[in-house]
Amino acid sequence: MKQGVLVISFSAGEYNGIGLLARQLENSKNIKFAFFSKSLKTVFFDIYRIIKEGCKSHTVVINYVFLCLLFAPVFRLLGKKVIFIPHEGEPLFPASLKPQISFIRRIVASKRLTQLSMFFANKTLCLSRLQAAALGANEHDIIHLGADFPTESVAKRPTHFFFPNRKHEEIKGFKEIASCHYLLVNLDDVELNYHQMLTHYAQAQVVLIPSIIETYSYCMVEAMLANCIIVTTKDVGLAHDLAKKVGTDLLNDYGVYIVDKPQLVAEFVNQNYDMLMAKTPKTKELAIAHGLDGKAAVNIMEALDDGKK
């Protein structure tokens, strides 16, 4: 019997998601990672290299629709167990926002092709129960990918309210919270690099995530690991899952507040400003307890290697 697990994904940074998982498991003898470079110059070599590596494994985990459609049929024919992780958020977009997706992305990341990928795989691990429900997948087969955050302690600034990047994307809900824009420390349109984001997370008392819908939310993971108070919506995948698992009352005690609509994020902040400034958050404790530092995903990969997942 072939040994080990091969995880296939596009090239990724090492600070969250599959990139972080690869770093955390870099010394594993049985769990290997193969990254597809997206370069036309190396596409045939990448395909050859990944199939060759997959032949040595009993289980192949494939991240992203395109890669699943490319490799899953091959590995199924070779008798491998195929696990699909649908990373794309586009299938969850409301119809009114679909035109904002590029034509290629609308095709490659469509709900129809996502479900075709699920058909080719033996099992699908969704990023959240919200995503699983939208795709018709098993809501118990979930992988909460982690993020990394420096452990240095930095004093919070009570008036530091932060909105993560990509304000120009309507799906992120920035325009929906116009009535509290005056509170934000990053009101301009400048996109922040990773280290600038870390600085803001470290200092922020409150992080606003008013997304119209989101498959998961690495920003929420990072904000929790930075021990920030979070105000978000029920249609953010991670928030949806935590509400189901923990309950909203206990989440409020930790410092996670979930409202129904993006517009209500601003309303909540304006009405509860003094409470938010005075509150001592415990969101890092919550994140660690649920393995959002990457340990939950590591455990799933190790269970796949042991044949227990």
| Among the listed residues 131, 137, 101, 133, the one whose alpha carbon sits nearest the alpha carbon of residue 117 | 137
Per the prediction, the chain carries an average pLDDT of 92
pLDDT band at 270 (very low <50, low <70, confident <90, very high): very high
- Domain residues for 204? 157-289
Which of 8-12, 61-65, 147-151 has the largest mean confidence? 61-65
| Among the listed residues 40, 48, 54, the one whose alpha carbon sits nearest the alpha carbon of residue 7 | 54
pLDDT band at 39 (very low <50, low <70, confident <90, very high): confident
Let me know if residue 77 belongs to a domain: yes
Do 135 and 105 share a domain, yes or no?
Answer: yes
pLDDT band at 84 (very low <50, low <70, confident <90, very high): very high
Cα–Cα distances (Å) from 108 to 87, 186, 299, in that order, read 12, 33, 30
Do 44 and 132 share a domain, yes or no?
Answer: yes
- Looking at residue 308, its pLDDT comes to 64
pLDDT band at 41 (very low <50, low <70, confident <90, very high): confident
Q: Is pLDDT at 1 greater than 60 in this prediction?
A: no
Let me know if residue 93 belongs to a domain: yes
Q: Which residue has the higher pLDDT, 8 or 110?
A: 8
β partners of residue 63: 85
Do 165 and 222 share a domain, yes or no?
Answer: yes
Let me know if residue 151 belongs to a domain: no
Do 17 and 132 share a domain, yes or no?
Answer: yes
β partners of residue 122: none
Do 24 and 96 share a domain, yes or no?
Answer: yes
- Looking at residue 282, its pLDDT comes to 96
Q: Per-residue pLDDT tens for 243-262?
A: 999 999 999 999 999 999 99
- Looking at residue 259, its pLDDT comes to 98
- Look at the pTM and tell me if it is higher than 0.75: yes
Contacts (Cβ under 8 Å, ≥6 apart) of 38: 10, 11
Residue 118, helix vs strand vs coil: helix
**Burial of 195: CB neighbours in 10 Å, binned 0-12, 13-18, 19+:** exposed
- Looking at residue 248, its pLDDT comes to 96
Q: Poorest-confidence range of 1-5, 106-110, 113-117, 129-133?
A: 1-5
Is there a contact between 103 and 141 (Cβ–Cβ < 8 Å)? no
pLDDT band at 109 (very low <50, low <70, confident <90, very high): confident
Domain count of the chain? 2
Is there a contact between 201 and 162 (Cβ–Cβ < 8 Å)? yes
Gap between the Cα atoms of 164 and 208, Å rounded: 8
Do 39 and 120 share a domain, yes or no?
Answer: yes
Do 226 and 285 share a domain, yes or no?
Answer: yes
Is there a contact between 10 and 63 (Cβ–Cβ < 8 Å)? yes
Do 120 and 12 share a domain, yes or no?
Answer: yes
pLDDT band at 2 (very low <50, low <70, confident <90, very high): low
- Looking at residue 207, its pLDDT comes to 97
- Looking at residue 152, its pLDDT comes to 59
Let me know if residue 59 belongs to a domain: yes
Gap between the Cα atoms of 231 and 218, Å rounded: 14
| Among the listed residues 246, 154, 270, the one whose alpha carbon sits nearest the alpha carbon of residue 205 | 154
How many beta carbons lie within 10 A of that of residue 194, not counting itself?
A: 11
Let me know if residue 152 belongs to a domain: no
State the helix-helix crossing angle for 111-120 and 65-77, rounded to 10 degrees: 20
Tell me, what CATH number does 119's domain have? 3.40.50.2000
Do 90 and 181 share a domain, yes or no?
Answer: no
Let me know if residue 263 belongs to a domain: yes
- Looking at residue 309, its pLDDT comes to 62
pLDDT band at 175 (very low <50, low <70, confident <90, very high): very high
Q: Per-residue pLDDT tens for 218-247?
A: 999 999 999 999 999 999 999 999 999 999
Do 131 and 229 share a domain, yes or no?
Answer: no
- Looking at residue 151, its pLDDT comes to 61
- Looking at residue 92, its pLDDT comes to 87
Do 166 and 213 share a domain, yes or no?
Answer: yes
Do 175 and 46 share a domain, yes or no?
Answer: no
Average pLDDT value for residue range 116-126: 97
Number of helices (H), then strands (E), in the chain: 14, 9
Is there a contact between 92 and 136 (Cβ–Cβ < 8 Å)? no
Average pLDDT value for residue range 39-44: 88
Q: Is pLDDT at 198 greater than 70 in this prediction?
A: yes
Q: Per-residue pLDDT tens for 148-165?
A: 887 656 677 778 899 998
